[in-house]
Structure 1
Amino acid sequence: MTDRLITHLRHLDIAVPDHAKQVQFYTDLWGLTPIAEDSGITFLAAEGSPEQYVVRLREAEEKRLDLIAFGAADEASVDALAQRLAGDGVQLVSEPGALQTPGGGYGFRFFDVDGRTVEISCDVAVRRHRRVEEQEAIPVKLSHVVINSPSPQRTRAFYEKHLAFALSDTLFHPKMGEAMYFMRCNPQHHSLAIARGPHVSLHHASFEMRGIDEYMRGTGRLLRHDVKKVWGPGRHLAGNNTFSYFLDPHGNTVEYTTELEQLDEDTWHPHLYDFTQPEVSDQWGTANPMDEFVAAESFNDPDRGVFVAPPV
C-alpha cells in the first residue's frame, strides 16, 4: 500500500504487580533474554530478533497493557504519521522526539480508539542477535499481538484508516457474527489481530519459534513445569500457523507459534472462516476442542490502562 508507513511489530509492554515473578517466567521458562533493567522495569529480547527488546515488564500496583510498539522506516514516516493522526483528531500522548528506551530512536505515542497506548518509532539501534540453533526451544522473535475489543469492527476501522493495516482473514460464528480480524502491516499474515471480547484487554502475545521441533520442545517444557495450558498444540487454518497457548503468572495468554503464512499482498483475498468448523480452529485435530471456556481464558482482566498513558 502506498500510504502504509508502518513496517513491522516491535515490542509489547505490560505492567504487573509481581515484577520478579513475571521476569522469572519470561526468562527461565519462556526463553527470553534480559538486556536492561532499571527501577522495576526489565527489557527482554528474543535471541533471533534484531529488535532491542520484544517485551518490557514494568512493576505496578495494577496489571495493565502499557503499550504496543510498531516500527516505521524513517523520521519522515514517523512525522507524517503523527501529523496524519493529529489531523484526524486522534489524541497524541507524546510528540515525535528522541526515545529514552534501549536502542534510542525517534518516535511518538498516541491512544487508539479503545484507549490503548501505541508507539511508532524508527532509527532504533539494531541489537546484535544470533541464529537460533536446532533443538533450541526459545523464541526467535515476537510474531504478533492480539487485542480484545467490545467493538471489534470499530477497532478494525481505526487501524485500517489511520495506520493502513490490511485485512487478511476473518473468523465468524454463525450465531455471534464476526469474531476476529487478522490484520497485517507487511506480507506476514498478521502482526495484529482484533478479537471480540467483553472489554478492552490483551488477548494474547505470540512468539515465533525456529521450527516445528523447537515449537514442540518449548511446549513440552512448559507442560513439564505445570504452566497452565489454555489451548493446543495444533495448527490454525487462518495464517496456517501452529499454536500452543499458556497463561503467564498474571493471567496474560502467551503463545508459541511457527510457520505463520507470508502473503502475496497483490493477489491475496481475505477469507471468511466459520470457526465452529473444527478444521478452522485446528487443522491437525490435536488440540483440546475450542469452546466457550477455552475462549474465556483469553478475555483477560479489563485493562486498567485505557486512555491513561504509562508513566515511562
Structure 2
Amino acid sequence: MTDQLIGAHNAHNDLHSEQGARPGEHPGRSANPIIKVTDVAWLEFEKPDLVKAEAFAQSFGFATALRTSDELHLRGSDADAPCVLIRRGQREKFLGPAFVAAEQSDLVRLADATGTTVRPLPDSLGGLTVDLVDPSGLPVRVVSGTHQLDALPAQTPHVFNFGHEVARANATQRPPRVPATVRRLGHIVVQTPKYIEALNWYLEKLGMIVSDFCFYPGQRDRGPIMSFIRCDRGSLPADHHTLAMALGPVNRYVHSAYQVADLDALAAGGEYLRERGYFRSWGIGRHIQGSQIFDYWRDPDGFLVEHFADGDMFDNTLEPGWAPLAASGLYQWGPPPSRDFLGVGSARETASELAAMVDALRHDNEFDLSALRGLFAVANS
C-alpha cells in the first residue's frame, strides 16, 4: 500500500465492499491535495418554467428560500445555504455543483494554484467563490462565507419497537401522507468519458477521498470505472459519497439526492408524490454502496432526484472498497432497477444512448470498446 493511505485501516470487508485494493491499484486519495472541501453546498440548474419547478419542489419536500421572475432558490430544513438554485433558461440544463471550503483562506490557495480568482457571489447568496471547470467541462464552484439560513421545523424520526425492546407503548404510529421534508442536499452523481482524469482532479484539487470503487465485471485490470467519493473531514464522519462519478459515453447529470428523516417520511412522502401524478423512477429499496434507503423520482423537466435516509458515514481512516459493477449490485432489497433509472426507459432513449456510445468511440477519451463491452455486461447482469 502506498504512503497515500498511511493511517487508513482495512475495514472494507465487513463494512462496505466485498474486497479491498490490490497492490498498485488506485489509492483513492491524493497525498497532497490543494484544499479539502467539507461538503457540497448547492446545485445549479436552468429551467424554462419556474412555476412548474417550484410546484414539484414543494411536493418533493423543499421550501422556497427565494423566488423572483428569473430565479428560484430551494432549501432544506437544516440551517444552511439554499441547496438548489434554478435560473430561468430556454431549456433544461444542469449547470454544476458548488462545494464548501473549510476556510476562506482556502479559496485564495485554490485560486493561486489553479490560475483563477476569488470573486464575490451575488448578494442573495453572500460570500465568495472560486469558479473552476473540471476535466469533463463541468463548471465547479468552491464557496465560503455564504449567508446561513435559519433552521426550519423538521420531521422528527419515528420511535420504533424492535423485537422485544419496547420504546413506544400506549402510542400509535400514524405517519401522515405529506411531503417528506428535505433536510439537506446529500450527493450528486455524474457521468463522464474522462473518468480517471476527472476523478484525480477532484482528489487533487478539492481533497476528496474515495469510499468505494467499482469495475466492469471481468475487467478489473483496466482499473475502476465508477467511484463513490466523500469529503475528508478527518476524524469527523462524512457521507459515504458527496460526489459519485462513472465512466460513460457523454458528460451527464445522473441524479442528486436529498436526505429525509427516516423510512416513514420517505415512504409517506412518496405516496404524496404518487397521488399528485409524479413519476417514480425506482424504489423503495436499500443501496449496497452507501447503504441508503432510497426512492427515485423524475421531476417535470426530466431530472432524476432521490429521497434518502440512513446512509453510511465514514471518517478518513477507511480505505476504498472494490466491487464489480452490476445492476443487481445496486440494491440490497427492493424492486430491481427500472429501465427508466438505467436510462433506457423508451425505444427513443435506448437509440439515443446507443448513438452516444458509437459517437464516443470516435473520440479520444476513456470510453473505448472494452468499456462498451463492460456496459453491456452490466446491463445483462
TM-score over 0.5 for the alignment?
A: yes
C-alpha separation in 2, matches of 1:247 and 1:297: 14
Assess if the C-alpha contact under 8 Å between 2:32 and 2:204 holds in 1: no
Assess if the C-alpha contact under 8 Å between 1:52 and 1:102 holds in 2: no
Q: Which of residues 88, 96, 115 in structure 2 aligns to 1:59?
A: 88
Q: Which moved more, 1:141-150 or 1:29-38?
A: 29-38
Q: Which of residues 320, 341, 350 in structure 2 aligns to 1:294?
A: 341
**How far did 1:131 drift?**
4.6
Q: Which of residues 138, 141, 144 in structure 1 aligns to 2:181?
A: 138
RMSD over equivalenced CA pairs, Å: 2.4
Q: Which of residues 99, 106, 109 in structure 1 aligns to 2:131?
A: 109
Assess if the C-alpha contact under 8 Å between 1:141 and 1:207 holds in 2: yes
Q: Which of residues 288, 309, 328 in structure 2 aligns to 1:258?
A: 309
The count of aligned residue pairs is 289
More strand by share: 1
Q: Which of residues 22, 35, 42 in structure 1 aligns to 2:53?
A: 22
1:33 aligns with 2:82: no
More helix by share: 2
Pick the structure with greater CA Rg.
2
Seq. identity, %: 23
Summarize the alignment of residues 119-198 of structure 1 with structure 2, pairs less than 5 Å apart. 119-134=141-156, 135=175, 137-174=180-217, 178-186=224-232, 187-198=238-249
Q: Which residue of 2 aligns with 1:310?
A: none
- Give secondary structure in 2 for the equivalent of 1:294: coil
Q: Which residue of 1 aligns with 2:369?
A: none
TM-score using structure 1 length: 0.85
1:270 aligns with 2:320: yes
C-alpha separation in 2, matches of 1:290 and 1:2: 38
C-alpha separation in 1, matches of 2:269 and 2:338: 24
Deviations 1:19-45 (A, max 9, x none): 221121112x11111111234111111
Assess if the C-alpha contact under 8 Å between 1:152 and 1:195 holds in 2: yes
C-alpha separation in 2, matches of 1:130 and 1:40: 25
**How far did 1:133 drift?**
2.3
Q: Which residue of 2 aligns with 1:71?
A: 100
**How far did 1:105 drift?**
0.8
**How far did 1:98 drift?**
2.2
- Structure 1: segments with no counterpart, 5+ residues: 87-91, 303-312
Assess if the C-alpha contact under 8 Å between 1:17 and 1:63 holds in 2: yes
**How far did 1:140 drift?**
0.7
Assess if the C-alpha contact under 8 Å between 1:18 and 1:59 holds in 2: yes
- Give secondary structure in 2 for the equivalent of 1:296: coil
Distance 1:103 1:293, change over 3 A: closer
Assess if the C-alpha contact under 8 Å between 1:23 and 1:57 holds in 2: no
Summarize the alignment of residues 231-242 of structure 1 with structure 2, pairs less than 5 Å apart. 231-242=282-293
After TM superposition, which residue ranges in structure 1, 4 or more long, deviate above 6 angstroms?
Answer: 298-302
